């Protein structure tokens, strides 16, 4: 049963506690990465047999496989994917940065070039659930950024095939190449390259503890989006919100994973007790009831505060991945939200809306990293290069200042490089 904790009476260590992350996989992941670097495709096929129980000859998805998968998809689902993709594009196109140049002083020009990454790799989980929504959310910003090539890896089923919904989403998103590889071995292949899978500049996408650890270990060899932890939802609610709806929203995250976190913060003990009871009614209705049960029992909590202002303070301290402001006047409180991945406003905005259709990205900072991290965006797929140009006359105006500054740091070579172009060093 979901615990009810009184804010101010329960120790902060319990109020703000998160599920411990699985940390005993580093050695296993390190060995997998080393084996993939050494063995290439042969290692990938061996790990696919071991972990996915699929015996593959070819790792790359063929055009025939794509056609077969697309023929199995309901046209209505394709239409929904296209609608979602359109919303995602509309939102992310507003994030595009432009190069700029400043030349408002005689003889000086400086600026910044915004350059898309040449090749990015998208990891899409398999296992207990398949997420075509992740394909759209992670690939479309890269396309908008102008990345010339996007490749995707995702684990196959025992029959060696991919989920048709994943392939259809990849087609809608415009992914260039798809590979049937999962787990830490897929991350290693994307980071270092194999005979079949090309090395990429950045890896994005969520995964289990092994995938997260692999991303951590290859960071520096390639860029990554983030180290994703278990999914989280925190709802700040007032008495105007219906308890059955709150329970449904909390369970929408609890069904993700046994380690997922569902938290309600409210100023009403009556609402807290109603939601607690409603959770028990709704869990048996879920297909993934065992997962939701474990998540709620182990990581779920209801925090009762004296005021909504206190509830927002608690939410900022937790810094959740998803934050619902289930309040009568949510915009009155938005400015007080300092730490959250994505905010869902009012009584009619379930977090699931953001997962699939609204447009803002659903690849979000977890485990409290919303205190310093942002949702996936177009910015994640570009890099910036600066440039500077001075004429001799413009340099002569500042050469002595540069030299003086350099000497304060004991760098006389720096000083000389500035003044030698304009006059004898003094």
CA distance 371 to 9: 25
Is 395 part of a structural domain of the chain?
A: no
pTM: 0.93
Is 294 part of a structural domain of the chain?
A: yes
Q: Return the structure tokens found at 315.
A: 């939410």
Same structural domain for residues 216 and 145?
Answer: yes
Same structural domain for residues 135 and 36?
Answer: yes
CA distance 129 to 145: 29
- Order of strands, sheet of 382-390, starting from the edge strand that comes earlier in the sequence: 100-105, 108-116, 382-390
Is 422 part of a structural domain of the chain?
A: no
Beta-carbon contacts of 62 under 8 Å, excluding residues fewer than 6 positions away, are none
Contact 49, 399 (CB under 8 A): no
Is 389 part of a structural domain of the chain?
A: no
Which of 7, 2, 5, 4 is closest to 308 using CA atoms? 7
Instruction: Say what the pLDDT of residue 24 is.
Output: 87
The CA dihedral of 179, 184, 188, 193, to the nearest 10 degrees, is: -10
Q: Return the structure tokens found at 381.
A: 């797929």
Tens place of pLDDT per residue across the chain (426 aa): 999 999 999 999 889 988 776 668 999 999 999 999 999 999 999 999 999 999 999 999 999 999 999 999 999 999 999 999 999 999 999 999 999 999 999 999 999 999 999 999 999 998 656 789 999 999 999 999 999 999 999 999 999 999 999 999 999 999 999 999 999 999 999 999 999 999 999 999 998 889 999 999 999 999 999 998 899 999 999 999 999 999 999 999 999 989 999 999 999 999 999 999 999 999 999 999 999 999 999 999 999 999 999 999 999 999 999 999 999 999 999 999 999 999 999 999 999 999 999 999 999 999 999 999 999 999 999 999 999 999 999 999 999 999 999 999 999 999 999 999 987 544
Number of structural domains, the chain? 2
Which of 234, 239, 272 is closest to 250 using CA atoms? 234
Instruction: Say what the pLDDT of residue 199 is.
Output: 98
Instruction: State the burial class of residue 181 (Cβ atoms within 10 Å of its Cβ: 0-12, 13-18, 19+).
Output: buried
Beta-carbon contacts of 394 under 8 Å, excluding residues fewer than 6 positions away, are 105, 106, 107, 108
Same structural domain for residues 170 and 237?
Answer: no
Is 353 part of a structural domain of the chain?
A: yes
Residues annotated as catalytic are 321-322
Same structural domain for residues 166 and 127?
Answer: yes
Same structural domain for residues 248 and 147?
Answer: no
Which of 119, 139, 143, 121 is closest to 131 using CA atoms? 139
Same structural domain for residues 214 and 286?
Answer: no
Contact 293, 287 (CB under 8 A): no
CA distance 279 to 277: 5
Instruction: Say what the pLDDT of residue 282 is.
Output: 98
Strand partners, 265: 236, 303
Final residue of a structural domain among 331, 359, 387:
359
**DSSP three-state, residue 153:** strand
- Order of strands, sheet of 3-6, starting from the edge strand that comes earlier in the sequence: 3-6, 301-304, 261-266, 232-237, 322-326, 342-345
Same structural domain for residues 193 and 300?
Answer: no
Same structural domain for residues 168 and 308?
Answer: no
Instruction: Say what the pLDDT of residue 424 is.
Output: 53
Is 412 part of a structural domain of the chain?
A: no
Q: Return the structure tokens found at 142.
A: 């890269």
CATH code where residue 112 lies: 3.40.50.1980
**DSSP three-state, residue 138:** helix
CA distance 208 to 210: 5
Strand partners, 234: 263, 323
Same structural domain for residues 251 and 181?
Answer: no
Contact 268, 239 (CB under 8 A): yes
Is 407 part of a structural domain of the chain?
A: no
Instruction: Say what the pLDDT of residue 128 is.
Output: 55
Instruction: State the burial class of residue 64 (Cβ atoms within 10 Å of its Cβ: 0-12, 13-18, 19+).
Output: exposed
Which residue bears the tokens 């992740």? Answer: 134
Final residue of a structural domain among 312, 339, 359:
359
Contact 85, 172 (CB under 8 A): yes
Residue 242: alpha-carbon gap to chain centroid: 30
Beta-carbon contacts of 172 under 8 Å, excluding residues fewer than 6 positions away, are 78, 81, 82, 85, 136
Which residue bears the tokens 């506690």? Answer: 17
Final residue of a structural domain among 359, 375, 390:
359
The CA dihedral of 300, 306, 309, 314, to the nearest 10 degrees, is: -30
Contact 230, 257 (CB under 8 A): yes
CA geometry: angle 359, 363, 365, nearest 5 deg:
125
Neighbours of 51 (CB within 10 A): 16
Same structural domain for residues 275 and 170?
Answer: no
Classify strands 108-116 and 100-105 as parallel, antiparallel or unpaired: antiparallel
Determine the structural domain holding residue 328 and report its residue range.
3-21+229-359
CA distance 60 to 400: 60
Same structural domain for residues 68 and 159?
Answer: yes
**DSSP three-state, residue 98:** coil
Is 392 part of a structural domain of the chain?
A: no
Contact 163, 189 (CB under 8 A): no
Instruction: Say what the pLDDT of residue 426 is.
Output: 44
Same structural domain for residues 181 and 84?
Answer: yes
């Amino acid at each position: 049963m979901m615990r009810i904790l009184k804010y101010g009476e329960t120790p902060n260590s319990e109020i703000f506690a998160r599920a411990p992350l699985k940390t005993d996989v580093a050695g296993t992941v390190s060995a997998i990465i080393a084996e993939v670097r050494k063995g290439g495709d042969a290692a990938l096929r061996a790990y696919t047999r071991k972990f996915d129980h699929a015996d593959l000859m070819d790792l790359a998805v063929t055009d025939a496989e794509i056609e077969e998968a697309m023929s199995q998809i309901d046209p209505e689902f394709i239409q929904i994917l296209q609608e979602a993709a359109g919303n995602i594009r509309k939102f992310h196109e507003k994030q595009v940065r432009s190069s700029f140049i400043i030349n408002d002083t005689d003889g000086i020009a400086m600026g910044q070039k915004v350059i898309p990454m040449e090749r990015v790799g998208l990891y899409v989980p398999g296992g207990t659930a398949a997420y075509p929504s992740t394909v759209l959310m992670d690939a479309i910003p890269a396309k908008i950024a102008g990345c010339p090539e996007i490749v995707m890896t995702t684990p196959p089923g025992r029959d060696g095939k991919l989920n048709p919904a994943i392939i259809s989403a990849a087609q809608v998103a415009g992914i260039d190449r798809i590979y049937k590889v999962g787990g830490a071995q897929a991350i290693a292949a994307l980071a270092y390259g194999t005979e079949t899978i090309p090395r990429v500049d950045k890896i994005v996408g969520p995964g289990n503890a092994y995938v997260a650890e692999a991303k951590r270990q290859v960071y520096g060899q390639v860029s990554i989006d983030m180290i994703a932890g278990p999914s989280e939802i925190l709802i700040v609610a007032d008495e105007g919100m219906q308890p059955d709806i709150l329970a449904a929203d909390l369970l929408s995250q609890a069904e993700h994973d046994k380690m997922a976190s569902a938290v309600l913060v409210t100023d009403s003990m009556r609402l807290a007790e109603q939601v607690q009871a409603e959770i028990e009614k709704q869990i048996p209705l879920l297909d993934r009831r065992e997962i939701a049960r474990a998540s709620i029992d182990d990581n779920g909590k209801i925090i009762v505060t004296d005021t909504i202002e206190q509830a927002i303070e608690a939410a900022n301290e937790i810094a959740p991945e998803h934050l619902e402001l289930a309040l009568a006047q949510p915009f009155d409180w938005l400015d007080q939200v300092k730490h959250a991945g994505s905010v869902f406003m009012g009584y009619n905005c379930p977090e699931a809306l953001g997962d699939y259709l609204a447009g803002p990205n659903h690849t979000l900072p977890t485990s409290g990293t919303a205190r310093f991290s942002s949702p996936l965006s177009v910015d994640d797929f570009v890099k910036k290069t600066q440039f500077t140009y001075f004429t001799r006359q413009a340099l002569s105006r500042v050469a002595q200042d540069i030299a003086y500054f350099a000497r304060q740091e004991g760098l006389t070579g720096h000083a000389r490089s500035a003044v030698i172009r304009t006059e004898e060093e003094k």
